Amino acid sequence: MNITYKHNPGGPVIGAVSAPVLEIDGLYFKDLARAGVLLPYEDWRLPAQERARDLAARLSVEEMAGLMLYSRHQMVPGRSRGPFIGTYGGKTFEESGAAPSDLTDQQKQFLKDDHVRHVLAAGLKDAHTAAGWSNELQAFAEALPYGIPVNISTDPRHGASAAGAEYKSGGGQTSKWPEGLGIAASFDPALCEQYARMISREYRAMGLTTALSPQVDVGSEPRWMRIGDTFGAHPDLVADMGRAYCDGLQSDESSGGWGPGSVAAMAKHWPGGGPCEAGRDAHYPFGKFAVHPGGCAQAHLKPFLQGAFDLRGKTEKAAAVMPYYTVTWGMDPAGGQVGNSFSRHIIGGMLRGQAGYDGVVCTDWVITDDPDPEVDSFSSRCYGVEELSVAERHLLAIENGVDQFGGNNDIRPVLKAYEIGCARHGERAMRARFEESAVRLLINSFNCGLFENPYLDPGESTRLVGCQAHCEAGMEAQLRSIVMLKNCGVLPVAGRRKVYIPDRTIGERVGFFRETIPACSLPGADARVVGKFFDRADSPQEADFAIVFIESPITDGGYSAKEGYHPIPLQYRPYTAHAARAHSIAQGDFRERENPDRGYRGKRGTAANERDLDLVLETRKAMGGKPVIAVIRMNNPCVLAELEPSCDAILVDFGVQLEAMLRIISGSAEPSGLLPVQLPADMETVERHCEDRPLDLQPYVDSCNHAYDFGFGLCWSGPICDGRAQRYAAPEKRKELF
């Protein structure tokens, strides 16, 4: 690809492939419109808002509608099977002889015919491929009318652990950092800002200019499958971390404000996705309701109002917001029980009106398609508006103040919504409404410098992404995220000792897409990494100590076609929900007219990895009194009463690499993490708590008389009392917060 670069003294670098470059008074500008004169939107000296207004006024309705689309997950290179298929000249990637960075037929089609300019990158083979693919996208778009660049986005891709409930983007060769709860366990917003600043460099080197993060939901419901991506259960901690993340991501390091190093942050999920009833998640119809039995709705707004919308840096606020799928039960005073993006009160009244938010509002993915007939499905989430047509759902969201539709590559329903809107409101009003969204969407691309130079050097991208400095910083963050809950004098393990690590067995389970995952056996740990620190013993008898690597209980999300609604257990043994509420708070679904109640009192919940508990108990017995250390990959805060007495030490992994954990165990680093959530005493306290009320659980108290409460953690000398947790109020004062 032949890219022409022009350097402006004191101004941006201009990068062009097909667009002419104008020279005016010794300065360079891209003639994206091919008009031969400098148009306001092409003039980088003007404010982004002025440029966006000029361009939006020039666009056709079709071109504005294209800006309102956000592509479905793109795999690079395209897959030949599965949910994200891509073809090259009608052939699979393997058959075509295409380069990994080439555009698929589908990508060319939605860029040209549907005018899509916002693309979600999911799997990226590596940094070199990502940069090349980005260049191909930008060159293709530059040749189209007005030369509007592509704004490529990503879900989080820097997690150090492969575990997780939501679909995560492929990391490629990025640096590795803890998941959200792990960053929160540092109780250090400055670390979170450093994390965001470093991943923003890697994002830009891969062509990524929007992050579908941070997830600033308050993790008040421990059973929720997405709590691991939050910054914990305390609204003030979440607000501080969310603010730091947005500042680090969006602030160009050379200017402190918007610039070519910025990545736009999309804070999610308004008005708080955490209080899902009984922990069921709204990706699925059986989990579509959020409830507020504790009257704590304002606590869930705090991370937005006092965090993402109140930045310390020059970018002022998160560039975009994503509402969650949920029907937020009882929040709309008019009584409408619809998904958040379809609620005029929640979007138009609360977000646009009361909060005064004027950035981009983008729906969560695929909420406008027709629903699946089954409740147990990974389907469209048009909750509460099933009777409307696809176009009418788009129009309703637009009328509420939504700008963009996640996971929709198809322009036709947006154009149909425009047609219906013209009949309802008049063409002038609809044109103005579309221009309003177009301006908001274009501002982010102008702010990130895409109109001047969206092109990358793939070689330089390869050198920067996952570079040593970033990897070392990520490892340090991982070490700071590890929480030591128990230590009966066995940690650290000094010297070259023999360790026994048993293998794991996980039963059949349900995956994120509701597919059945067969039972499997897994090695306890990578022997090559373990060998850097200890000698591996083949049996407990040969070992000096044991490490048992397990995971928090794995469940099916609280519903199955065979059993209906049942509890989501946070313990390993089967559990019967005698303390659950008799009837669900939220009810109502066209698929459940005969029995709308979602209650499950008296029903049983089981964990697919119950064998993890057996592994701890059996290892304890086999070791004959020698030390047993449990390492728990904690996707959800779980009940440890079943295994804690059998462990000499317990360490919590909120998404770290094995090497980080072994550094702690061997004593080359000292644990300093603190719990950003509570670990419940039992399932009864979980069933009795209010989904929306943060930190209302009775915490587990271990055999050393330590309560596994918010802010607890041990270092080598005992409980950590360094003031970090105290900033977020002592337990006895929490009721005043909420």
Q: Are residues 458 and 571 in the same domain?
A: no
* Position 189 pLDDT exceeds 80: yes
On average, the pLDDT of the chain sits at 95
Specify the pLDDT at position 380.
Answer: 81
Give percent above pLDDT 70 in the chain: 97
Domain boundary among 464, 482, 508: 464
Residue 15 lies in a domain: no
In this predicted model, what pLDDT tens digit does every residue of 486-515 receive, in sequence order?
999 999 999 999 999 999 999 999 999 999
Give per-residue pLDDT as tens, 91-108: 999 999 999 999 999 999
112-161 pLDDT, tens per residue? 999 999 999 999 999 999 999 999 999 999 999 999 999 999 999 999 87
Closest CA to 363 of 387, 333, 343: 343
The reply to whether 490 and 430 lie within a common domain is no
Residue 50 in domain: no
* Contact criterion met (CB below 8 Å) for 9 and 131: no
Residue 707: strand pairing partners: 701
Query: Which structure tokens are listed for 500?
Result: 């026994």
Q: What share of the chain has pLDDT > 90, as a percent? A: 93
Mean pLDDT for the stretch of residues 318-340: 94
Per-residue pLDDT of 619-670, as tens digits, reads: 999 999 999 999 999 999 999 999 999 999 999 999 999 999 999 999 999 9
Q: What DSSP string runs through 449-498? A: TTTT-----HHHHHHHTT-HHHHHHHHHHHHHH-EEEEESS--S--SS-E
DSSP conformation letters of 354-397: IS---SEEBPPSS-SSPPPS-SSS-----TT-TTS-HHHHHHHH
pLDDT band at 442 (very low <50, low <70, confident <90, very high): very high
Cα 209–Cα 51–Cα 443 angle in degrees, nearest 5: 30
Same domain (yes/no): 169, 221: yes
Q: What is the mean pLDDT of residues 534-561?
A: 97
Beta-carbon-side half-sphere exposure of residue 629 (alpha carbons within 13 Å): 25
429 and 577, same structural domain?
no
In b/e form, how buried is each residue of 193-229, taking b as 16+ CB within 10 angstroms?
Answer: bbbbbbbbbbbbbbbbbbbbbbbbbbbbbbbbbbbbb
3-state secondary structure of 518: coil
Residues 455 and 483 in one domain: no
**Residue 729 predicted with pLDDT over 80:** no
710 and 569 within one domain: yes
User: Under a CB-based contact definition with an 8 Å cutoff, are residues 283 and 325 in contact?
Assistant: yes
Q: How many domains does the chain have?
A: 2
Task: Give the pLDDT band of residue 736 (cuts 50, 70, 90).
Answer: low
- Which of 420, 441, 464 is at the close of a domain? 464
Is residue 10, in this structure, part of any structural domain at all?
Answer: no
- The pLDDT value recorded for residue 519 is 96
Is residue 171 over pLDDT 60? no
pLDDT by residue (tens digit) across 471-485?
999 999 999 999 999
What does the DSSP assignment read for 171-206?
-TT---B--HHHHHHTT-HHHHHHHHHHHHHHHHHT
207 DSSP 8-state letter: T
pLDDT bracket for residue 168 (50, 70, 90)? low
Cβ atoms < 10 Å from Cβ of 560: 14
**Whether residue 185 has pLDDT greater than 60:** yes
Residue 459: per-residue pLDDT: 96
The two structure tokens encoding residue 476: 């340090």
pLDDT score of 172: 60
Q: Are residues 459 and 584 in the same domain?
A: no
Q: How confident is the model at residue 163 (pLDDT cuts 50, 70, 90)?
A: very low
Task: Give the residue, 72 or 642, on which the prediction is more confident.
Answer: 642
Residues 478 and 452 in one domain: no
What is the model's pLDDT at position 228? 96
Q: With contact defined as beta carbons under 8 Å apart, do 205 and 258 qualify?
A: no
Distance CA 391, CA 376 (A): 25
Tell me, yes or no, whether 517 and 601 share the same domain: yes
Residue 14, domain member (yes or no) = no
> What is the pLDDT at residue 730?
59
DSSP H or E stretch at residue 445: helix 427-447
- Residue 625 structure tokens: 């009194």
* Together in a domain, 657 and 573: yes
Average pLDDT over residues 529-557: 97
Instruction: List all residues 6 or more positions away from 556 whose beta carbon is below 8 Å from its beta carbon.
Output: 509, 510, 608
pLDDT score for 82: 76
**121 touches 76 (CB < 8 A):** yes
Q: For position 737, what pLDDT does the model report?
A: 60
| CA separation, residue 671 to residues 591, 706, 714, 717 (Å) | 49, 16, 7, 10
Q: Are residues 651 and 728 in the same domain?
A: yes
**Could you tell me if 298 and 331 are in contact, meaning their C-beta atoms sit under 8 angstroms apart?**
no
Amino acid at 291: V
Residue 343 burial (CB count, 10 A): 27
The CATH number given to whatever domain includes residue 679 is 3.40.50.1700
Q: Is residue 712 part of a domain?
A: yes
699 lies in which domain range? 468-737
Asked whether residue 36 is domain-assigned, the answer is: no
Nearest to 165 by CA among 225, 222, 220: 225
Residue 485 tokens read as 């809950």
Residues composing the chain:
738
Average pLDDT of span 55-79: 96
What pLDDT, on the 0 to 100 scale, is given for residue 336? Answer: 81
CA–CA separation, 31 and 43 (whole Å): 9
Would you say residue 42 lies in a domain? no
Buried b (16+ CB within 10 A) or exposed e, 134-144: bbbbbbbbbee
Domain boundary among 464, 491, 513: 464
Is residue 5's pLDDT more than 90? yes
List, as one string, the DSSP characters of 532-595: TTSEEPSSTTT-SEEEEEEESPP---SEETTTEE----SSSS-EE-TTS-SS-S----TT-SS-
330 and 304, same structural domain?
Answer: yes
Please answer whether residues 325 and 339 qualify as being in contact, where contact means their C-beta atoms are separated by less than 8 angstroms.
Answer: yes
Instruction: Give the mean model confidence (pLDDT) for residues 285-299.
Output: 97
C-alpha–C-alpha distance, residues 664 and 480, integer Å: 10
| pLDDT at residue 376 is higher than 50 | yes
pLDDT for the residue numbered 170: 55
Specify the DSSP class assigned to residue 45. Answer: T
Question: What is the H or E stretch that residue 322 is in?
Answer: strand 320-323
Distance CA 290, CA 698 (A): 22
Does the pLDDT value for residue 164 go beyond 70?
no
Going by C-alpha positions, the residue among 308, 266, 270, 314 that lies closest to residue 444 is: 266
pLDDT (average), residues 64-74: 95
Domain assignment present for residue 425? The answer is: yes
From CA 204, how far away is CA 260, in angstroms rounded?
8
Tally of helices (H runs) and strands (E runs) in the chain = 19, 31
